[in-house]
Homo-oligomer: A and B are copies of this chain.
Amino acid sequence: MTERTASDRLTVVIAHQSEEPIYEQIKRQFRQSIMTGLMQEGDSLPSLRQLAKELRVSVVTINRAYEDLEKEGFIVTAAGRGAFVAKVSKESLKDKKLKLVEEKLMESIELAESYGISRADFIKMIDLLFPRQKHG
């Protein structure tokens, strides 16, 4: 094999009883793996059938996830060859991360504001909720 394969490090987990559609769970986990650098440009993704078998879901479900990820620019698929992590510039990657976190954060800020929770109290909440880095 001349290509890195993600199979070893890869652990996709499915919750069948979740509200979140299975294909969304898969998309989210691959996105995460790529954005955290766990999977890198050129790495191969599991084949449709292989992953479908592993996760015990339909091939169509995996296909849908891969298709969406390709449209989002995270992977490229080549018929007859497989699916691979696409090239994403580090710049745009960092932008994507910050944008996603900002969006989520903005939701909670808006909620806090509508409830009349003060800036200071809100920051205090973070102080309690956000874990401090561990020291070596």
A98–B111 Cα gap in the complex (Å)? 10
Copies of this chain held together in the complex? 4
A77 sits at the interface (CB 8 A): yes
Q: State whether the Cβ of A8 lies closer than 8 Å to any Cβ in chain B.
A: no
Which residues of A are interface residues toward B (Cβ below 8 A)? 16-17, 32, 35-36, 71, 76-78, 81, 97-98, 100-102, 104-109, 111-119, 122-123, 125-126, 129-133
- Taking the closest CB of chain B, its distance from the CB of A75, in whole angstroms, is 10
Apart from A97-B115, A105-B108, A105-B125: 10 A-B pairs, beta carbons within 8 A: A35-B115, A101-B108, A101-B115, A101-B117, A101-B125, A104-B108, A105-B112, A109-B129, A109-B130, A123-B126
